[in-house]
Chain A
Amino acid sequence: MIVTSIQNPDLDDDSLVENVELELLLQAVYLKYGYDFREYSRAHIKRRVLHYIANKRLPNISSLQHELLIEKKCFDELLQELSINVTEMFRGPGFYKSIREKVAGLLKTYPYIKIWHAGCSTGEEVYSMAILLKEEGLYDRTQIYATDFNPRVVKSAREATFPLKYIKEYTSNYQKSGGQESFSDYYRATNSSVIFDRSLTKNMVFAEHNLVTDRVFAEVNMIISRNVLIYFNRHLQNKVLSLFDESLSTGGFLGLGNKETISFSDIAPKYKIIDAREKIYKKSHE
């Protein structure tokens, strides 16, 4: 694959060398470990890689490349650096409010609901959705698939345990999302963490899935993938949106982050906008 973006004639030599090293590193990661970051937003990846080599006190990207080829542990660490896991329960409460008001009513007409959280990170938004669906009387006939490429966060998400210190903020988000119940009924607190109720986890399946390299695995009625596409270049965004499209049944819903859009993608003509601000779309035809 020839990447033209690094062959910028304006670049001074240091900058060019660094970009070449980065390109080779991503190639090496792909060839050795199968994780494909080559079509990620390059500025972002470069920042994370430089951050990692600074912490490891490595002199340059090439030395990181050598080390991770011979040392799996080094790659595992880099993978954590490249996996962004900033999330919260009912993150961007307006999104959940919109799901309650504009989507839940339509889901109620379905006999069975399958939802895919693609890029679920540590699971906060998956549990948020389960709570919302429970309150709407839908959860008992829902199956949630929650996936992420990072095995460590998938394991953590499965445990239904979150730090106690954020619960005040989460409770406030829950209320802003239109939640009417007592949020504390959904978990029990220990000294430092909260554990969510078994009634929420029962219909969840957590699995490793890589949006870049893996295929469709189920037909679903709703896909939630917020602030995942922002890390991909336009070409990869289009590819992943097509994967979402293949997975969604007609009439199904797609929820993205509020700075993400399908408007530049091949799938745009098939979708109508349910909420322009919260980036909720409905697949209107095949």
Chain B
Amino acid sequence: MNSVPAYQAVVIGASSGGLHALKKMLPAIPRDFPCPILIVQHISPVSENYLTVILDKVSQINIKEADEKEPILAGTAYVAPPDYHLLVEADKTLSFSVEDKVNYSRPSIDVLFQTAADAYNEHLVGILLTGANADGSEGMSYIKKRGGFTIVQDPADAESPVMPKTAIMQQEPDMILTLDGIIEQLLKPGFIFPEKKSHQ
């Protein structure tokens, strides 16, 4: 029988070096990926939506800039727009805020991770990638507190090790993996995907 999937959403936070990492990671996600993906990549406030355009071009799943009050759907990756914090509401829709920068960042990874953890509780996977600042650490701890699963990119594998290192020091993640390892984990049957069915 079908059981409730363990995880209902994946959040990804990245800063310096993140574009390379995301360009490697997102194209590896198959079209039938059963979860939505929510992404904060630190980006200049005046940048156009080129990040989304580039990633969408190379990916099988649909990648788009998040819209206000948009319902969160599987098979789609939502990217926080420049200069807005991205938040998840309890009814699994997206909302924005332009309140002060958090960790010198807007969008902030902590803001997305904390609100997503409140909405998804233990059904959330948090992934923190390369970066040169401390954003995301609080958010990762909060995901843990709510019972979710956390993966930090191996600082030795990251283009900028500070952000993953800071998160690991604050709270031991469930897994520390290279980028390739993270991709492998996301595709592993029994994690996000259901266990492989026996041959029919």
Contacts and interface: CB of A to CB of B under 8 A. Distances in A.
Contacts of B96: 230, 259
Contact of A43 (B84, B90, B146): B90
A47 B69 contact: no
Q: Which has the most chain B C-beta neighbours within 10 Å: A10, A43, A237, A259?
A: A43
A230 B90 contact: no
A6 to B, nearest CB: 7
B119 interface: yes
Nearest to B101: A86
A47 B122 CA distance: 19
B43 to A, nearest CB: 15
Q: Interface size bucket, B side?
A: 20 to 34
B115 A47 contact: yes
A192 interface: no
Nearest to A229: B68
> B87, B90, B96: which has the most chain A beta carbons within 10 Å?
B90
Interface in A197-245: 227, 230-231, 233-234, 237
B98 interface: yes
17 contacts: A5-B89, A12-B121, A41-B97, A43-B87, A43-B95, A43-B118, A43-B119, A44-B95, A48-B99, A84-B97, A84-B98, A230-B68, A230-B95, A237-B69, A259-B68, A259-B84, A264-B69
A12 B99 CA distance: 28
3 nearest interchain CB pairs?
Answer: A43-B87, A43-B115, A41-B95
A100 interface: no
Nearest to A87: B98
Contacts of B81: 259
Interface string A252-275: 000001011100100000000000
B94 to A, nearest CB: 9
A44 B121 CA distance: 17
A223 B118 CA distance: 35
Contacts of B159: none
B68 to A, nearest CB: 5
A63 interface: no
Interface string A74-87: 00000000001010
Interface string A29-44: 0000000000001111
Nearest to B120: A10
A259 B87 CA distance: 14
Contacts of A19: 90
A171 to B, nearest CB: 16
A10 B147 CA distance: 12
Given A47-B114, A260-B68, A230 B123 contact: no
Contacts of B122: 12
Contacts of A260: 68
